Amino acid sequence: MDLYDQIARNRRRSALLLAAFALLVGLTVAAVGTLVRAGPVIVPIAVVIAVVSAWVSYWSSDRIALAVSRARPAEGPEFKRYHNLVEGLCIAAGLPKPRLYVIDDPAPNAFATGRNPRHAALAVTTGLLEKMNRVELEGVLAHELSHIRNADILVSTLAVTAVGIVVLLADLALRLLWFGGPRRRDRGGGSPFGWLLGLGALVLLLLAPLVARLMQFAVSRRREYLADASAVALTRYPPGLIAALEKLRDDRTVVASASRATAQLWIESPLERGRTAETPKRGTWLNRAFDTHPPLEDRIAALRAM
């Protein structure tokens, strides 16, 4: 399967993922309505809240991510190499040039955000600009531009929104249950079917945030491999990205402005450092399930096998 077939399959999976998230949000809303016994009125209210949240996230995701990361516009002669590399890669990829930002942080890292290629932004840390040579920096920038071309940034943004909605609804319902809201309405017990329905709704609310995060992390890890392959196809020089990933692997610094909410956007998790070639962090299958990125050793091995 060639790269373009992989991109097409990735976009089909994106549609399925968004449908799965929509189903999970719908089931969570139904579970909330069942447990709090607020009647059918809670469903349209929850749907309106979900739609408004998704709308705001769609139009403002780039500004939010940049503000949280304390990014500033990359203006000035010291960023000339940064601009020149992005311009050349955009010409090769057929992309409009994204807005370029820089984050004052010694940890080498980068991320792309936005709702589509015409409204995208790319941010790099000062540590990345200082620690990477030209071909390594080009590999990292090509990786982030590949996320833009492959429509990864939109899916990641909507996934974050869906997870937030699920967690918020589940937390709200469980808090209402804790304070005993619905129990005052029905002290008599109810039918066995009603008890089973309530138990199923409670289990769903407990598991929904976990399922939503696992779905989010799984799609994030899969897209990193595809972005790596797309970057190599764009630069025609695999050693550049390989060397960049090796430097990221060996660097122990963390991005001070990073958070768990935006961790999946970066080229490498900004929250987990200390891995080296001699002691790569693998952990148990459960730990790996909650990683936002695949192990750098695996990504490097995949690139060397190309």
Which positions are annotated as active-site residues?
144
**What is the edge-to-edge ordering of all strands in the sheet holding 120-125?**
71-73, 99-103, 120-125, 110-114
CA 277 vs CA 115, 249, 287: distances in Å: 36, 7, 19
Report the C-alpha gap between 124 and 105 in whole angstroms: 9
Report the C-alpha gap between 207 and 23 in whole angstroms: 14
Question: Contacts for 276-282 with beta carbons within 8 Å, 24 or more apart?
Answer: 276/249, 276/250, 277/246, 277/249, 277/250, 280/249
Residues in Cβ contact with 157 at an 8 Å cutoff, skipping those fewer than 6 apart:
57, 58, 61, 113, 115
